[in-house]
Structure 1
Amino acid sequence: MKQKIWMLPDKSDFLRQRTTKLKTIGSQARQLAEDFFDTWDTVAAYGIAAPQIGSSLRSFIWKGKDMEAPEVIYNPKIIRAYGELKDYDGCLSVPGVYCPTRRAEVVELTGLDAEGRPIRRKYEGFDARIIQHEVDHLDGVLFIDRIDDLSEAYTLKEGPEDEEGDVTYIQVPDDEEIKAWVERFRRPLPGYALVW
């Protein structure tokens, strides 16, 4: 069933909780997967974590750059991370706010696929960034906790159409009111937080 995305500030307490590992991939997990897929087409995102649709089970759905369809991963755990890249970050649960964050360039992940089979995979670049963002959600961490410099935060404003007639977007620095709102809800992580 299609689910509503839980957002700040209304769902702040729930979004900050750690999720619970699934013991079996049974009916509860299958219902969550169905909810993920039903919700997927209604949002523009690279991933949705269980807390964002009101579930406390450790899982997420995501779609990497070379994937034809999204996939669900249960009980994900980052077992290795190295390198560092700073790139943009944004979140359905923190609507309209974007900011660069530092994340590992490469991660190795273990977990279970949709059928309950064990997986161990390595992700790099933007795919690694998506994985880290979703695993953060499962630990009660939001991307705003990883912002080094709030002066780099921005929103997107609709710009002129490009040559094909598609709308373009312009980065607009966040005003003091938006920065104060972000500061109110963030829980800054220390600089060494990239170590898993």
Structure 2
Amino acid sequence: MTKQILLLAGDFVEDYEVMVPFQALQMIGYDVHTVCPEKEGGDSCPTAIHDFEGDQTYTEKPGHEFELNHDFDAVDPTEYDALVVPGGRAPEYLRTYDDVLEIVQHFFEAEKPVASLCHGLQILAAADVLEGRTCTAYPALEADVIAAGAEWEDDVTRDENLVTAQAWPDHPEWLAEFLEVLGTDIDHAEPAAADD
């Protein structure tokens, strides 16, 4: 049976952090439902592209329109095997929705796999699920993560069912860890030698 993954999106979610896991998990064969409060399948969320260009913080540029494929109001978290919480600007306001926090709490209470990165940890902190965990987030959120009762790490971190990363440059390691938590078996075959 195909695993079902829930991905929380919102207006100005980080472009790479929503698009790359959405496509990568579908490529593996998972059924990924993307949702946003007050929106339905077929609606879209504008994204923001955050880049690291040598300034004291990231720069922000307009991204794409990310189309949602499921109704938020139809979400029953018990029907999902795992949760993905990307970053960007969206977590800042998504954490104010009680329904979002209750969904997140379900995944932790049921000990299901959760992958979050960058500012997505703002939602996890607001859901009060980080106490006693070891995790990471965008570096500017270190104080928030510690205040939520977690131990801070500077690298991609796996703590039981939780996999966290600092930002989209961590995608390869973050997604690999998440796939391992999901029990995904990927055969890394050696490339065939070219004929001379």
More strand by share: 1
TM-score between the two structures when normalised by the length of structure 2: 0.29
More helix by share: 2
